[in-house]
Every structure is written in C-alpha cells, then in structure tokens.
Amino acid sequence: MAEPFLIGSNMTGGYGKGADILHGCTIGVEAGKIAVIVGPNGAGKSTAMKAVFGMLTLRSGHVKIDGEDITALSPQDRVAKGMGFVPQTSNIFTSMTVEENLEMGAFLRRDDIRGTMEQVYDLFPILRDKRRQAAGELSGGQRQQVAVGRALMTQPKVLMLDEPTAGVSPIVMDELFDRIIEVARAGITILMVEQNARQALEIADVGYVLVQGANAHTGSGADLLANPEVRRTFLGG
Amino acid sequence: MDFLNAIVAFANFVFVPGLAYGAQLALGALGVTLIYGILRFSNFAHGDTMAFGTMATILVTWLLQSWGVSFGVLPTALLALPFGVAATALVVLGTDRAVYRFYRKQKAAPVILVIVSMGVMFVMNGIVRFIIGVEDIGFADGERFLISARTFKEMTGLDEGLAIRTTTVITLVTAAIAVALLFWFLNKTRTGKSMRAFSDNEDLALLSGISPERVVAVTWIIVAALATTAGVLYGLDKSFKAFTYFQLLLPIFAAAIVGGLGNPLGAIAGGFVIAFSEVTVTYAWKKVLGYVLPDSLAPDSLVQLLSTDYKFAVSFALLILVLLFKPTGLFKGQSV
C-alpha cells in the first residue's frame, strides 16, 4: 500500500515543555477520503490532530503531505501548503459579517476569491442569506458552517475538523455530516476528530481509535463499528 | 425673547464648546481603543503621544511661518499637521521596535505592558518638555472667528452673542473627516478588515495567515495620526502645554471605557458623553436660568455644580460608575 496523502507517523510529543500526550501515534488519510479519530475523553484525539497541524512540538515522528515532509513547518506555513484547520472553539470572527469571515479565510490568496465564495455559499445556502450578518449572531450550527466555510476559502487539499458537531442539535449534526461528505466528494481530504463516534464512523473511510495517546484500533469505519472489542469498550455495546 | 437668549447663551457656553471638546476627546479615545483592541493593553503614553505630535506640528508651523508661508484664514498648523503625523508615526514605530515588541514576543501580561507604557509616557513627557518647554504656547493663527459674538448680536438683535470660532469649526470638520476615513479603512479595505479580525480572534487570524507584525505597525501609524490630530485640534482650540496633555489622559480613558474599550463607535460616543458632562457640570448656569426663570426665582448664586478646577472629577466619577455598573461600556466593548 502506498503511503497515504497525509500522514503523521509515530508522533510522540506534548504541549510546550509538558509531559508527552502522544506516544507513537500514527494518523493517515488517503486523498479524497474521510478519516475520523475517535476515543474516550482525554485520549489525545484533538492533540493528535493538532500535532498533524503543527501546533505542538514533536519529540519524534514525521508529518508528510503528498510525500513532502512538513514536520518543521509552522501552522501558518502548513495552511499555505494546502491544509485547512477548523478549531473546536473560537473558530469564527464573531464581530465580523459572514462574508468578511470568508474573506479573512482567503487572506493569503491574492487571486479572485469570488468563485470559491460562491462554492461555499452553494455548499451552505443559509450563509448566502446571512452574509451581511455578524457571524456571532448566528446559531451554533450556522457558526460551524461559517467556520468550515472560512477554512475552505484557502482551497485546501486537506480539511481538518476538530469536533465540528460539538454542541449542536442531532438534526444539525446529521446535516453537518452530510455537508462534510459533500466536501470529501469534491476531492478534499478530510481528517476529523469526533465525540459522536458512532455517527462519525458511519461516514468514515478509515477510523482511528486512540487510547491514552496511542493507536488502539485502526480500520475502516464499518470494521470498527463491527469490532466487538471497540463496541464493548468504547461504543457502549 | 428671553427664551431665545437662554438658548443662545446655552449654545455659546455649553453646546458649542462641548461639541469641540467632545470631538477632540473622541479622536484621542479612538487611539486608545485601537491600541487596546489590537495590542491588548491600555496605553498610558497616549496623552504624551498627543503632546509629542502637537510639539512636532508646532515646530513645523514655526518653520513655515518663518518662511512666510500661511494658510490664509486657516491656521498654518493645518499645513504642518501631516509632518507632525509623520514624525509621531516614526517615533511610535521606533518605540514599538525598541520596547513593546520585546514584551510582545514574551507574550507579557497586559498589566506588564501597561506599566511599560507608563515608562514610555515618562520618557516622552521628558522629551517634549525638554524640546519645547513647559510654558503655555498658543499657535493658532489665521482668522479667529467665523462669527464673533458682536456680529451675532448685531445680526439677530439678541442680548446674548453666539461666537463661532474658526478652531471649533476646524475641529469638527477635521474630526468628521478623520473618523470617516478610519471607518472606511476598517470596514472596506483588506488591511483594515485584517486589523478587525486580529482584534476579534488573534489565534484564528494567525491561522488565516494574517501577519501580526504588519497589523501592529499599521495600528501604530493610525494611532499616531489620530493622536497628533487630536492634540493639534485641542491646542488650536485652547493652547499647548505639556502638562495639560498629560492630564488629558484621564478624560480620554474615561471616554474610551465609558464607550466600551475596543469599540471605535463607543470611543466617539464616550468622547461626547464625557465632554458634555464635564462642561455642563462645571458651567455656571446663573445666566441661562436668569433668562428662563421668572425674576422671583432667578438664582443669586452662580449655580455652578463644580468649580472648573475639579473638572477631572467628573470624568473620574463617570469612569467609576461605568466600571461598577456596566463594565463593558455603553457600546459592547471588552470589560477591563
């Protein structure tokens, strides 16, 4: 099997000079596929993703995108390399309008961004109606859409989502998952951390179950859902 | 007729001066609020930045006057203003390079930056006094009045005169232009929007590729322009004295906080709230009341709530009231 499009291999490290949170953790995803990281609280799910995005210093391990080693790059430089990141909280500019949020997402681009903006509005039609409204006045689900839209404005090759459905209602959650599948169909690779493990694994091409900062189980979403041990220890029967 | 006289007296002694003072405070408070929103600390050196800018402008004004250059009916200082702004921009950018950047790199707590800005304040304070002295300096030239009190009385036949001073009109027009330019810049340009984004959510701005050093530099330049303009307008309207500008820090901070720190619209509203409170509380209402009330009720005393010497108490009291009951200010700002 060829090396995945994006891979963080054998990552060990933690925040700043603190203790290690990840212990030889490997996360990879093929181009155009959806990878989901699940696991119990405190397993280091978000940390693993932040490690891939360069937000913590790795003591060992490598991060590669499209075969290029980007371990030493800062998060900002990784954005320029085609990675889009949607943080879990404070992921929008609340005092700015929806359209300004999208413009700021495209800050690094010097070309015409209107086409991309139209694509985002096609993906999230509600944002088109609310484009002149301050993003902070929107509902939770709409704010997540703004956050994803902002990250899409750089036309990333990989979109990384940190718990995109945290704090939204089940109906909105299904809707968001549908949109994420749509983004993946457009050829954008997706790496996401999810608290709602069952639903997330249903849409995942590959799933990673982390326990205490290390890989516990890896497999296709369907395999993991069928795996009795994963079901028993983690999905609750 | 008496009622008209009362209105004219009120306009002449309270409304028009309050409007001019409010515009000057608003420009000062805009600078404070921008620094707070983007560099995230209260800049105590702001009053002395205004003093420095005004000093630079006065020096250029004198130079222009010595060359025989004048601006007709308008004060020569307006011609010198762009040079004053440029000099101040260089000084604050240099200060940022030499002082603030060091603490920014350390991610120092805002309270440390406040103390650092006090240090900068004392240094600037000294430099200004060293160069131009501590005396009162009047530098307004050109036509003094648009309408003098006497002309007004002759025109209207009223007992009370309404003097419209050139500097008042210049203050209001210049302030309006400056504010319009600032809001256009913040809301319509790419750089301006990136400044608002940076102020709103620093981490996300970094993720979006907005360069913090560039945002900070642009902020300092704008602050230099606002501070110098505010200082020159205040100096034209009254006079320049280093100590007075240092004292202006209190009403300016009160204006920014009353309006809501970090919110530009709030800074403008706050400027006028503070100015009008100060003027109305320290004005002797005897004359106005004398016109309005029947003779039997006419006051004997001056009906001045507070002597003008205590005018800073007004901004201080308002500041404390706002901090106690509405810490985010009248407009949604950040709490201190």
Residue pLDDT, tens place only, A108-154: 888 999 999 999 999 999 999 999 999 999 999 999 999 999 999 99
Confidence of residue A2 (pLDDT cuts 50, 70, 90): low
Q: Looking at the domain assignment, is residue B41 inside a domain? A: yes
Q: Which one of B196, B200, B210 has the shortest CB-CB distance to A107?
A: B210
pLDDT one-digit tens code per residue, A215-234: 999 999 889 999 888 888 77
pLDDT one-digit tens code per residue, A178-206: 999 999 999 999 999 998 888 899 999 99
Average pLDDT value over all residues in chain B: 92
Contacts of residue B314, defined as CB under 8 A and 6 or more positions apart, other chains included, come to B274, B277, B278, B281, B282, B306
pLDDT value, residue A28: 93
Range of the domain at B292: 2-325
Distance CA B269, CA B271 (A): 5
Name the pTM for this structure. 0.89
Q: Which one of B190, B196, B210 has the shortest CB-CB distance to A96?
A: B196
pLDDT value, residue A30: 92
Smallest Cα distance from A82 to chain B, Å: 12
CA angle in degrees (0–180, nearest 5) for B33-B38-B43: 50
* More confident call, A199 vs A93: A93
Q: Do A93 and B196 touch (CB under 8 A)?
A: yes
Q: Looking at the domain assignment, is residue B335 inside a domain? A: no
Distance CA B40, CA B309 (A): 33
Residue B130: other Cβ atoms inside 10 A: 10
Contacts of residue A45, defined as CB under 8 A and 6 or more positions apart, other chains included, come to A37, A38, A39, A193, A210
Paired with A83 in beta bridges are: A158
Yes or no: say if B205 and A102 are a contact pair by the CB < 8 Å rule: no
Length of chain A: 237
Q: Looking at the domain assignment, is residue B233 inside a domain? A: yes
Domains contained in chain B, number: 1
- Percent of chain B, pLDDT > 70? 99
Confidence of residue A37 (pLDDT cuts 50, 70, 90): very high
Q: What is the ipTM of this complex?
A: 0.87
Can you tell me the mean pLDDT for A24-48?
91
Q: Looking at the domain assignment, is residue B336 inside a domain? A: no
Query: B159 — contact with chain A (CB < 8 Å)?
Result: no
pLDDT one-digit tens code per residue, A103-112: 999 998 889 9
pLDDT value, residue A237: 57
pLDDT one-digit tens code per residue, B282-295: 998 888 888 888 88
Q: Looking at the domain assignment, is residue B75 inside a domain? A: yes
Yes or no: say if B119 and B250 are a contact pair by the CB < 8 Å rule: no
Query: B216 — contact with chain A (CB < 8 Å)?
Result: no
On chain A, the residues whose CB falls within 8 A of the CB of B196 are 93, 95-96, 100
Q: Looking at the domain assignment, is residue B334 inside a domain? A: no
Residue B280 has pLDDT above 90, yes or no: yes
Distance CA B307, CA B305 (A): 7
Q: Looking at the domain assignment, is residue B333 inside a domain? A: no
Residue A1 has pLDDT above 70, yes or no: no
Residues 77-96 of A with CB under 8 A from B: 79-80, 85, 87, 90-96
Residue B334 has pLDDT above 80, yes or no: no
pLDDT value, residue B2: 83
CATH assignment of the domain containing B28: 1.10.3470
Query: A54 — contact with chain B (CB < 8 Å)?
Result: no
Distance CA B190, CA A105 (A): 12
Tell me the domains of chain A and their CATH numbers. 6-82+157-235 (3.40.50.300), 93-155 (no CATH)
Q: Which residue of B has its CA nearest to A135?
A: B200
Distance CA B167, CA B146 (A): 9
Residue B59 has pLDDT above 90, yes or no: yes
pLDDT value, residue B213: 92
Query: A55 — contact with chain B (CB < 8 Å)?
Result: no
Query: A108 — contact with chain B (CB < 8 Å)?
Result: yes
Q: Do B194 and A75 touch (CB under 8 A)?
A: no
Q: Which residue of B has its CA nearest to A152?
A: B208
On chain B, the residues whose CB falls within 8 A of the CB of A87 are 203-204, 207
Q: Looking at the domain assignment, is residue B100 inside a domain? A: yes
Angle subtended by helix axes B212-237 and B46-66, to nearest 10: 60
Q: Which one of B200, B206, B209 has the shortest CB-CB distance to A93?
A: B200
Query: A103 — contact with chain B (CB < 8 Å)?
Result: yes
pLDDT value, residue B72: 86
Strands A57-65 and A214-219, how do they pair?
A: unpaired
Residue B24 has pLDDT above 60, yes or no: yes
Confidence of residue B299 (pLDDT cuts 50, 70, 90): confident
